[in-house]
Amino acid sequence: MNSGLFCDLHIHSCFSIASSLRMLPSCLIEGCRRKGIGVLGSGDALHAGWRDLWNRIPDTGEVLVVPTAEVEDQDRVHHLIILDSFERFEDLASDLAPHAASLQTTGRPHVRMPGSEIAGRVHDLGGLIGPAHAFTPWTSLYAAFDRLSGCYGAERPDFLELGLSADSSYGAGISDLAGIPFLSNSDAHSPDPAKLGREFFEIPGAEATVRGVMERIRRGHITMNAGFFPEEGKYNRTACTRCYTQYSPAFAASVRWRCPDDRGLIKKGVADRAAELTDAPPTERPPYLHIIPLAEIIRLVIGSSSVATRACTLLYDRFVTPDTDEISVLTRTPIKELAAIDGRVAPAIESFRQGRVSLIPGGGGRFGSFSFF
């Protein structure tokens, strides 16, 4: 791996629906340190209460915090927004307020405007904007449109976020995305290590400023993406959202996207949607590191029902100490050192590094699963 900075720019706050009450700045900074993330998006920066919490946190230099937010437009497309200060987000919030009744009641507001207008206002403030989890079958660019211009008009997005059910290969053959940088982010609603930093991207350099990070993204200076095997994502395959039976798109269309077993709604998978949109030979993209959270590896190896069990947490804490971080443990720490900590987990990490991973794809809202061989 290179010696750049690892970035996770899409998270949520304690003010967002379905988010942990522990999504607080202090917990997030500590979570980044343990994970190995050097640049963190604040998330939910349109919310005044969340901006206030970040402004109270002293800058220790451990983690660079980049002001970010996610919004949903009138077509239910989600957009990730990056601005260079919380003051800029205060200006944007004032600008969007007449079109967003939920601006101060939730971290990710619904804005009654098309994506093109939102993008124009972000660009007027010197910010960056791009589609969040672009391929997912709900609330995404490619759930609503076939081309960038359908959503953004003349306001070309500055990046595209892949989402948990896709990697760079899914967009590499879509000619409309030529020249658009791909970002990988966690979309975390919890500071737990299985969520925060589960996807990230790398930018060159050992130090950065907020504007420096934005400029690297604007210029496409991404040196690596990292995240799930796409099959691990819960929308990777076309499947029923009730019983999770997987189908081909042709069969799903023949039954009008209703499951013949239980009449549940069938949602088109990310893999099938990306294949539909592919219209050109794949272009070269930065390398993509497929990664599995250490907590998930531990859960599988010791047979726990959840990564939140005491057994999982205690073992995780033996691997990730004040002297190391999770990304290093997964990718660089010698296997002999890991074996001295736990002789069951070390061989699993070695299998992961060697690509000896079997995957059962997810779909319809259920995550995929993995095993080692």
3-state SS of 4-30 is CEEEECCECCCCCCCCCCCCCHHHHHH
Question: pTM (2 decimals)?
Answer: 0.96
Q: Which residue has the tokens 């319809």?
A: 364
Residue 5 has what pLDDT? Answer: 97
- Please tell me the distance from the alpha carbon of residue 300 to that of residue 368, in angstroms, as a whole number: 13
Residue 104 has what pLDDT? Answer: 86
Partnered with residue 8 across adjacent β-strands are: 40
- Please tell me the distance from the alpha carbon of residue 178 to that of residue 246, in angstroms, as a whole number: 31
Q: How far is CA 229 from the centre of its chain?
A: 13
- Please tell me the distance from the alpha carbon of residue 113 to that of residue 96, in angstroms, as a whole number: 9
CB 242 within 8 A of CB 265: yes
Other beta carbons less than 10 A from residue 311's beta carbon? 13
User: Within 13 Å, how many C-alpha atoms sit on residue 92's CB side?
Assistant: 34
pLDDT tens-place values along the chain, 373 residues long: 557 999 999 999 999 999 999 999 999 999 999 999 999 999 999 999 999 999 999 888 899 999 999 999 999 999 999 999 999 999 999 999 999 999 989 999 999 999 999 999 999 999 999 999 999 999 999 999 999 999 999 999 999 999 999 999 999 999 999 999 999 999 999 999 999 999 999 999 878 899 999 999 999 999 999 999 999 999 999 999 999 999 999 999 999 999 999 999 999 999 999 999 999 999 999 999 999 999 999 999 999 999 999 999 999 999 999 999 999 999 999 999 999 999 999 999 999 999 999 999 999 999 999 999 9
Partnered with residue 200 across adjacent β-strands are: 226
- CATH superfamily, domain at 5-230: Metal-dependent hydrolases (3.20.20.140)
Q: Where in the chain is the domain with CATH 3.20.20.140?
A: 5-230
Residue 61 has what pLDDT? Answer: 87
Residue 1 has what pLDDT? Answer: 58
343: left (phi over 0), alpha (psi -120 to 50) or beta: alpha
Rounded to 5°, angle at Cα 323 from 213 and 295: 80
